[in-house]
Amino acid sequence: MQVTTIGIDLAKNVFRVHGVDANDKVVFNKPKLAPCLIGMEACASAHYWARELKKLGHNVRLMPAKDVMAYVKRGKNDAIDAAACCEAVG
């Protein structure tokens, strides 16, 4: 299965990453990926990381946090935020 979309939640010390295939099935746990679509909440550091990820060939889309929050299904933590970014960018 090929990862087609990734959601990233940026934090001070740890990034949480969530990847899905073309059928929205969670398949992510790979250290190196082929270029794909990456969705992130827009913040000060997101612009820097978007440029770095674009250098690696990925298609990066930054989204306002309020738009991503609509996709948070339960609770609030970095892993859930990453999943919401992944769903929101699709």
pLDDT in tens, 33-79: 788 899 999 988 899 999 999 998 999 999 999 999 999 988 888 88
- Residue ranges of alpha helices (H) inside the chain are 44-55, 65-69, 78-89
pLDDT, one tens digit per residue, over 44-56 is 889 999 999 999 8
Amino acid at 70: A
Is beta strand 5-9 parallel, antiparallel or unpaired with respect to 16-20? antiparallel
| Tokens 């250098």 found at | 55
Please tell me the pTM assigned to this model: 0.76
Q: Where are the domains of the chain?
A: 1-10+41-90
Yes or no: say if 65 and 35 are a contact pair by the CB < 8 Å rule: no
- Residue ranges of alpha helices (H) inside 33-77 are 44-55, 65-69
| Tokens 């979309």 found at | 5
